[in-house]
Amino acid sequence: MRTQIFYSFLFIAFALVVGGSSDAAPKNDLEEHVLTLLSKWRQGALETSLFTLPSIKTISIPPISVKYNDNGINIDLSAQDISLNGLDSFVVESLNVLETPDYLDVSIGFKAAKLTLFAESYKLSGRAFLLITLRGNGAATIDVLDGALQLNIRVANVNGESTAVGDVTLSYTIGQVKANLEKSTLLINDILSKQGPGLLEGLQGDLVNSLKEWAVPLADKYLAKVTLNEMSDIIADLAVNSTVIV
């Protein structure tokens, strides 16, 4: 009896762990192929007959410079030699692909339990509640917990001859931030951890725009060679025949 209870607990614990980190179930072939592509990408760089996607295990981020002034906190923060780790642990929480004669709509909800931003060098100056001076420089580690990202893309038919990105929206939310800035005055880590989600969500407009400026022309270059009719076959081909380079 006791053993049985023990095994029941074990099973429930296992189900929670697995269930908590598994992807959304695909509802049709097209969604299954999109999911296959994403889960292959999670494993390393992805080489397809059309393009190569870089690995997302570690991503280098260009230097940042942020001014934050809210809730009585005034911060000037700059950082360089930044890398982002943990993106490859994403889970596809929701997936909807809709195909019509005029467009293909893909909407994906991603979740990541923990992303880590590491900067070799940061510099911070500021003031809290008018009185407290904030200052620091050195290396910084910032853990971003419970991030969620929603991506919606419409690929539109262009005269039956090609396709193009019609519309993209991208938005994210962040559950919690844990900052560890070395050589900083007292309170900075506390303040940044507290203001972190707001601060990072405040960067949303800039981040999303620079991502769009980079990704949409790139996608359009490939889409110019593909008609909407061919799209689902191509996605199937990419999913099945792409290879992961670890």
Q: Which residues bind ligand NAG (CB under 6 A)?
A: 236-237, 240-241
Beta bridge partners of residue 148, listed in sequence order = 111, 173
- Residues 6 or more apart whose Cβ sits within 8 Å of residue 47: 242, 243, 244, 245
The secondary structure of 136-178 as a DSSP string is: EEEEEEEEEEEEEEEEEEEEEEETTTEEEEEEEEEEEEEEEEE
Q: How far is the CB of 49 from ligand NAG (least distance, A)?
A: 8
For ligand NAG, which is the closer residue by CB, 34 or 117? 34
For ligand NAG, which is the closer residue by CB, 209 or 241? 241
For ligand NAG, which is the closer residue by CB, 69 or 241? 241
DSSP-derived letter for residue 129 is: T
Q: How far is the CB of 150 from ligand NAG (least distance, A)?
A: 29
Q: How far is the CB of 237 from ligand NAG (least distance, A)?
A: 3
- Given phi > 0 = left and psi -120 to 50 = alpha, else beta, which region is 160? left
Measured CA distances, 96 to 29, 152, 240 (Å): 12, 9, 20
Q: How far is the CB of 30 from ligand NAG (least distance, A)?
A: 12
Return d(Cα 48, Cα 154) in angstroms, integer.
22
In contact, 130 and 72? CB cutoff 8 Å? yes
**Could you give the 3-state DSSP secondary structure of residue 237?**
helix
Q: How far is the CB of 230 from ligand NAG (least distance, A)?
A: 11
**Could you give the 3-state DSSP secondary structure of residue 112?**
strand
For ligand NAG, which is the closer residue by CB, 182 or 230? 230
In contact, 196 and 175? CB cutoff 8 Å? no
Residue closest to ligand NAG when measured from CB atoms = 237
Q: How far is the CB of 28 from ligand NAG (least distance, A)?
A: 15
For ligand NAG, which is the closer residue by CB, 179 or 239? 239
For ligand NAG, which is the closer residue by CB, 38 or 188? 38
The secondary structure of 54-97 as a DSSP string is: PP-SEEEE--EEEEEEETTEEEEEEEEEEEEE-GGG-EEEEEEE
For ligand NAG, which is the closer residue by CB, 164 or 244? 244
The 10 Å Cβ neighbour count of residue 200 is 19
Q: How far is the CB of 48 from ligand NAG (least distance, A)?
A: 11
